[in-house]
Structure 1
């Protein structure tokens, strides 16, 4: 297949974890991938994409970059948890304008932030969305705007991300801080409370497989991924120890009281505090619709996925010399 005959996807947020993973998955499945970035001097040239300069906040620049695109992947977020309220919806409006101009399907990686602390434990695609958090309300508003747009839309919802390029995540910022040799594991959750995680390459592969069956998708589609479920922090820690070959790694509690005290002046801590309820109650995503459609959910074994994540985040300096763990 020549470049001229390959379907084209524009990825917004390709410098981030899910955007970069989706770009890789689409390229591997025969798509031509174009990626938008404000600073081309700082992009990953190893990513199999055609980089173009532009700002995701500027509708004209997104629309120009989307010329010829069948799909626009909206995987862009405000950097450093700053000014979500002021940036999230304007960025989505720019993507909507580009989608209208070119008739492209918009793909949104969804989150569990849309669901409230008192909701059901197992959540299907048609479950009511209601939450008291600022970020959750924005996510609900984003999905409502997409549904009301009249455009073709695909939302793939998953748990908290982890992966080789997931430094800006609960996994890479809290559980095992990226860029540091692995010395301990931090547990933000309550003992005995499970948590849903999603391996970035699995999420990206799911998106790519769904887009490969575009003709069978409804105009507005939501799919939930079960991902990786760990019964609690001790369960996750056991898998991380196995992945790292470090049975001695200690498990520490996350200092929630200190985070709450600093939340008024530290934006990151404010965002973490708002999401604490997801670590105090179990919330699982029901993937039966996805399995019925695809036949199976892409799923990398936990220890394999965790080892790749730890190595990619710079937590295992000697990763190249380590044996690959058994599946």
Structure 2
């Protein structure tokens, strides 16, 4: 590949998926720069090989344009600070990325979500599934993809869609914030799935590896490529719970997620409103069809589930560092 094609700008490198992709790109030999508001603080907290940090804000068009100069790929994994003001900040940020990518003839890469779809209408997501979201967040994500599809007439676009994240760096996720909170030894598991609905999960290191493999394909990809990452498919909502129990090696109590409390608190905004609007994704099964991904790569990266859950719980502090490994648990 040409030198420019192996150079990436990451927006959102301090987040879960952006950080995982940054590390995977560096490990694969890419030249990586990352736009962050405070490079000095980021350097101190960053683990492992460092990208080239650039001071700037994704809300500032000029800053994004300067940071993107000479890159072949722009990874757009940025979210509003504290996940607030989605309706005011998300679309201007993607517009800034589109403008900078067009100016530099760079491929835009976006981590897609399942929230663009109504799970009461779509049980299996593929690249042609209708996007008819009911939540505010879903409608914004749909508009992001519409703008990217229009932009692909001028600059190439890759969207890789995945389910809910888990992994050591997935701090802002349903797994870490609700299901198995980190920061202290795990004492109970919250089960957000309602009844026996299926749910799609994505282990961040596997997802990041998939991003890099696709980005390495360069012009072999379509100008507008929308691919689904199957990840971990929990067909009845019990597999992830039992995997956590197996790794913790005890009969951990399982509580149902307090959806009723989210409904009561939703009018006041914040997380309860976001959770309440997305509740149907936990009430209905929605699987990701990865046939296009398999056609491109041959296979999807897949870490054994117990290994992935163990790494997640240790990394988030829900298990001590010296907890028995998944291999030891399997051999016991």
**Common fold, TM-score beyond 0.5?**
yes
The answer to whether the Cα contact below 8 Å between 1:6 and 1:32 also exists between their aligned partners in 2 is no
Give the corresponding residue for 1:297.
Answer: 300
The alpha carbon displacement at 1:6 in A equals 8.0
Structure 2 length-normalised TM: 0.94
Partners of 1:83 and 1:313 in 2: CA distance: 27
Task: State the partner residue of 2:312.
Answer: 309
Which consecutive unaligned segments of at least 5 residues does structure 2 have? none
SS at match of 1:264: helix
The equivalent of 2:46 in structure 1 is 45
- Specify which of 47, 50, 56 is matched with residue 54 of structure 1: 56
Q: Distance in 2 between matches of 1:47 and 1:119?
A: 43
- Mapping 1:118-267, distance limit 5 Å: 118-149=120-151, 150=153, 151-244=155-248, 246-267=249-270
Alignment length, in residue pairs?
324
Q: Is the 8 A contact 1:81 1:268 kept in 2?
A: no
CA distance in 1, matches of 2:325, 2:84: 40
Which residue of 286, 290, 307 maps to 1:287?
A: 290
In the alignment, what sits opposite 1:103? 105
1:270 matched to which residue of 2? 273
Task: Find 2:114's aligned residue among 107, 112, 122.
Answer: 112
Aligned equivalents of 1:118 and 1:190: distance in 2?
14
Matched residue, 1:20: 19
Deviating beyond 3 angstroms after TM superposition, the runs of 4 or more aligned structure 1 residues are none
Structure 2 equivalent of residue 10 of structure 1? 9
For the residue of structure 2 that corresponds to 1:14, the secondary structure is coil
Kindly indicate whether residue 84 of structure 2 is the aligned counterpart of residue 82 of structure 1.
Answer: yes
C-alpha deviation, 1:242, in angstroms: 1.5
Q: Secondary structure at the match of 2:201?
A: strand
Provide the C-alpha distance between the structure 2 equivalents of 1:314 and 1:42, rounded to a whole number of angstroms.
22
**3-state SS in 2 of match to 1:35:** strand
Cα distance in 1 between the residues matched to 2:55 and 2:41 = 11
CA contact (8 A) 1:114 1:137 kept: yes
Query: 1:252 and 1:233 mapped to 2: Cα distance?
Result: 13
- Structure 1 stretches lacking a partner, 5+ long: none
Q: Measure how far apart 1:21 and its partner are.
A: 0.3
How far apart are residue 64 of structure 1 and its match?
A: 0.7
CA distance in structure 1 between the aligned counterparts of 2:323 and 2:164, rounded to whole angstroms: 29
